[in-house]
Amino acid sequence: MEKTKIETKKTNKTLMNMICGAVVAVIATAASYSYWHDTNIRVTFHADSEKDINYQVFYTDDSNHYRNTELQNIKAGSNCVKIILPTEVVKSFRLDPGSKSGKLTIKKLKVSGNETVEFTDFDNYKYMNIKEHTVNEDGSLTIVSDHVDPYIVTTEKLEIYPGDDYDWLRMGLIAGGSFIVAFLLAMLINRKKK
């Protein structure tokens, strides 16, 4: 009889530890999801410019009308560019890389949200007001313009929504880690109560 009571107490403590772990895991996951979940669509690229220029991004959303970002600056030299698009979906994309004529090299051009599209096949784009373009061995694109307002339009149909490629993986790791930590803490607390 005494042995059954001890086993029942151990089973109850283990069950309580698991319930505490599950509750903490749910709370930690919900809190971290709201903090880390990315609700934006981002455009990123590296630009090497021979002079200071302005650039702008145009995109279409569900209305199929072009929307645009405000003019941004690229300083002469090497730049890492990140633009947040205030939209719920991107269906097409246009980069206006410069308000002045000159030479510009673009590397690692990406649009990211629930998926990431890296633009690498630069031969399948429409080039406007661009004198020449060269796809370099490293996958970058060099454009030379002798006109004001050169731009590149993707011919690829897109459907990118806000989010992050790693949302569910990140949340799973947080939930699992939170559960393990809470379970171990509950076990430690219950052990000290003996």
| Summary mean pLDDT of the chain | 78
Segment 135-154 shows an average pLDDT of 85
Distance CA 14, CA 11 (A): 5
Domains and CATH numbers, the chain: 2-37+167-192 (no CATH), 41-154 (2.60.60)
Q: Is the dihedral of CA 82, 87, 90, 94 positive or negative?
A: negative
Q: What is the largest CA-CA distance in the chain?
A: 94
pTM (predicted TM-score)? 0.63
Segment 166-193 shows an average pLDDT of 70
- Indicate the SS3 state at residue 25: helix
Instruction: For the chain, state the CA radius of gyration.
Output: 26
Segment 153-168 shows an average pLDDT of 74
* Angle of the 2-36 helix axis to the 167-192 helix axis, nearest 10: 150
Distance CA 151, CA 126 (A): 8
Segment 15-41 shows an average pLDDT of 68
Q: What is the pLDDT of residues 58-102, one digit of tens each?
A: 888 888 788 888 888 888 999 998 888 888 888 888 888 877 778
Q: Backbone dihedral region of 163: left (phi > 0), alpha (psi from -120 to 50 degrees) or beta?
A: left
Distance CA 37, CA 140 (A): 30
- The enclosing H or E element of 93 equals strand 92-96
Segment 174-183 shows an average pLDDT of 74
Q: Across 20-29, 63-72, 127-136, 148-157, which has the greatest mean pLDDT?
A: 127-136
User: DSSP secondary structure string, 167-191?
Assistant: HHHHHHHHHHHHHHHHHHHHHHHHH
